[in-house]
Structures are given as structure tokens and as C-alpha cells.
Amino acid sequence: MKYLPLYPILARYPFLRIASRVFSFNIEDELRKFLDTVEAAKRIVDKAIDGRVEYDRFTDESEFFCLGCEENCYDCQKRGTLEGCDLCMGCFENCSLYYPREAVERFYTNAKLSILTYIASRMIVSAMEDWVRMRYAVNEASYYSRLLREDVEESGKEPIVRLVAIDLGAKLKGWKMHVSTFVRVSARIKDDKWRLVNRKLRNGWVETTKAEVLRGLEELLRMKLFEKVPVSEAVSEAVRELSRKAKRESEKFAMDLGEVDLNCLPPCMREI
């Protein structure tokens, strides 16, 4: 079936841009039709405000990943490794794998609901204060990073990690990171080992470990999730409800700080 192997991947990683190749629907209509996705998005954002992660997602335990599709694209020179993939997804489009109809429908539905939940959560935080969006981005990036670590450790699933890397704009060669990607992610990681001067660089590629690549992908994802997206009226009630909670949380934080005594600040800060 067309795109069948991508369904469980998109259920697990709904932020992938390739979702637009697999699914085509009116987001506003679908969010109003599948109200449980907005509720699921609310739970994700609600826990993010508290600094926690929601683990109840539309994923499927019986996941599979197949690279055995017929590949007719002459540009694909490294079939099965996803090295240099341009995300045309032609290989998955020609999928001839047979699965029972019930299983296919389950894979399809979980992927669709996961994508809608992801979109709704992005919309909700885009309508809220920056600190909420930042907590959401950090928590969700950490959640997906954990999934990537699981996949990279499981036999046969490394290509999924490479697919995610390409989708996020990361350039990899094996487990080496291109200098452009390394500089982009290292600028936001406060650790001396992420300074380019402390790394081995050869022909534009920085020697990095598998763990460092995963950390870099987490940072790229955090940046992606912090970006604002257009907000639909379908999430307006969720925004109002969660904004009230966020306001209480920010007021509590302000109370915890108490009144600042300017005399305790150094002269340079008092001048400011």
C-alpha cells in the first residue's frame, strides 16, 4: 500500500515535514472532527506548563519499518541507507507490502491523529506567552530525543534516525556532522566540547559520536518547536483555558521571587 511504512514513523514523529506528502486534509475541519486530538494537545501543553511530559500519545506498539520497496528513482544511489535522501519519498510511494486491512487502518489512523495532535499543540502554544512556548519546545524535544535514542539502539532502525535528521535539515555522513550543522546546533549548547576549536574537522565534516548527533537533533527540534505557527479557531477554547493556568503559574513565579533589593546589586547593574 502506498506510503504504508511511513504511517508508524509519522505516528511516532509527527513533526516531520514529509507528513505533507502522505496526508492532505483541511486542518480546521479535521480538528473540529477529531476533538480528541485537541484534548490530547491540551494535555501536552498543560504538562509542559508544569515542566512535565505527556507520554500518552497516538503511537502503535506493533511498529515496523521496511526499506524493501521498489526504488525507481535514478537519483537514489544509496538505497536502504537514506544517505543524501532528498525526501522525495518515491521509495515508500511504491510500497507493495501486504498487511491486513485492519492493521493498515490502525497505522493510518494513529498517524493522522498524532499529526493533528502535534499541529494543535503547536497552535496552542503559538497563541500563548513565550515562556510557555519555550517550555513546550524543550519538553517535546526531550521526549522525541528519547524516542530517537530508542530507535538508534534497536537493530535495523538507524535509517529512521537518518530520515529524521534529513527532515530537520541536518547534514550527516555516517555519524559525522557537517560543519554547517555543527555550528548551528553548537551555538546554543553551553559546553566546551561543542566548541568547534575543540573538535576534529576534516573536509567540512566534524567528527561526532552517535550520542552527539542525537543531542544535535534534539537542539534542532527544539528550535523548530519554538517557532510560531498560524492559530486556528478550533483551538481557541484550549488557548483560553491554558492561558489562565499559565497566568497563575507566572504570578506564582513572580511571588516566589519577591521584591528585589537594588542595593544588593553590584554598581554596574545598579547603573542599568
d(CA 221, CA 150): 17
Which residues face 173 on adjacent strands?
Answer: 176
Q: Which domain holds residue 168?
A: 6-229
**Model confidence over 140-197: pLDDT tens digits?**
999 999 999 999 998 778 889 999 999 999 999 999 999 999 999 999 899 999 999 9
What pLDDT does 41 receive? Answer: 98
Q: What is the DSSP string of 3-44?
A: TTTHHHHHHH-TT-TTHHHH----HHHHHHH-HHHHHHHHHH
What contacts 24+ positions apart, CB below 8 Å, involve 197-202? none
Task: Tell whether the model's pLDDT for residue 70 goes beyond 60.
Answer: no
Per the CB < 8 A criterion, the answer to whether 165 and 81 are in contact is no
**Residues 253, 135: Cα–Cα separation, whole Å:** 14
Establish if 139 belongs to a structural domain.
yes
204 in a domain, yes or no?
yes
223 in any annotated domain: yes
Q: What percent of the chain has pLDDT over 70?
A: 84
The answer to whether the CB of 81 falls within 8 A of the CB of 159 is yes
In a domain, 84, yes or no: yes
Burial state string for 139-160 with b = 16 or more CB within 10 A and e = fewer than 16 = bbbebbbebbbebbeeeeebbb
Q: Is residue 272 part of a domain?
A: no
pTM of the model: 0.88
155 against 135, higher pLDDT: 135
Structural domains counted in the chain: 1
Residue 238 lies in a domain: no
pLDDT in tens, 76-128: 655 556 677 788 887 788 787 788 999 899 999 999 999 999 999 999 999 99
Residue 184 has, within 13 A of its CA and on its CB side, a CA count of 19
Q: What percent of the chain has pLDDT over 90?
A: 69
Residue 262 lies in a domain: no
Report the alpha-carbon distance of residue 33 to residue 11 in Å, rounded.
Answer: 19
